[in-house]
Amino acid sequence: MDHGPLRLGRIAYLNVWPLYETLVREFPEGPEITYVPGHPAELNTALCAGTIDAAPASAFAYLANPGAFRLLPDLCIRAATGPIQSVLLLSPVPLAELPDHLARTGDPVLLSGASASSNALLQVLWRFAWKFPETRFEKVAPGTGLATGKPFVEIGDLALGRYLDPPAGWHVTDLGQAWLGFAGTPFVFALWIVREGLAAGRMAALERMHEVLVGINRNLSDQLPERVAAPNRPRWITSDDLLAYLRVVNYDFDAAAQASLILFAHHCRELGLIEAVPGLRFAF
């Protein structure tokens, strides 16, 4: 059995910043827990390798390998309503013109090397929402897509920066908004994923951490104005823009969010991205 503290992955993106700011203060590193940084794709890999125990990681990672994981109840990362602002497709031509542009140039669409859910979401929207013809998808490192001149997916803080200040000549499609328009439900980008087989001590720490997180989420909406005005807020974004962004990020894994996830899974299965639509198995 494993011993030592619970190893919790921590995404450095603003979409979980208010949760972790409080969690680390209320549940600091020590004998019970340690925090391991990484972007979503890195945390997916670490969960599969067993080098971390739990993390808010790509929802697609669970759908693709549900036997290896369980989920924390009540919590996810999704849009509330409207654009999520930090999961984007950037294109050198308007979206409706993109198939003709790709046919003319032979260019691929560049997926993000930092994401699994967002890449699968684009492929689902491409086929089922936009009904575009098949195209070639390749991956690109985060932050490098713009220099290629090709359409690309950007996520996280890099995407939020592009949303707030779009690069000249580029057309921005918010993939969260596109899913909402297509499916009528908010898209679930990340789940709190737990690897199977945690030792009793780590499971106890996980349960305590979950209780703290649920409490933070319950009171978060009222506290956001104070949080974004605090001296330790990220300085690259204004407090008004940060507050507007955090108002559209939602952490409630409620019935609507669960239905949205399962609908997404059905479409992923139709594309052959996953073998089957899994049930939702929770850690406790």
Give start-end residues of each CATH 3.40.190.10 domain in the chain.
6-80+187-270, 87-183
Q: How many CB atoms lie within 10 A of CB 226?
A: 8
Task: Look at domain 6-80+187-270 and name its CATH class.
Answer: alpha beta
pTM recorded for the entire structure: 0.94
Structure tokens at 86: 């930090």
Cβ burial of 1 (10 Å; 0-12, 13-18, 19+) is: exposed
- Is the Cβ–Cβ distance between 210 and 56 less than 8 Å? no
Q: What is the pLDDT of residues 122-172, one digit of tens each?
A: 999 999 999 999 999 999 999 999 999 999 999 999 999 999 999 999 999
CATH homologous superfamily of 87-183: Periplasmic binding protein-like II (3.40.190.10)
Vertex 130: Cα angle to 170 and 184 (nearest 5): 105
pLDDT band (50, 70, 90) for residue 25: very high
Is the predicted pLDDT of residue 24 greater than 60, yes or no? yes
Encode pLDDT of 66-75 as tens digits: 999 999 999 9
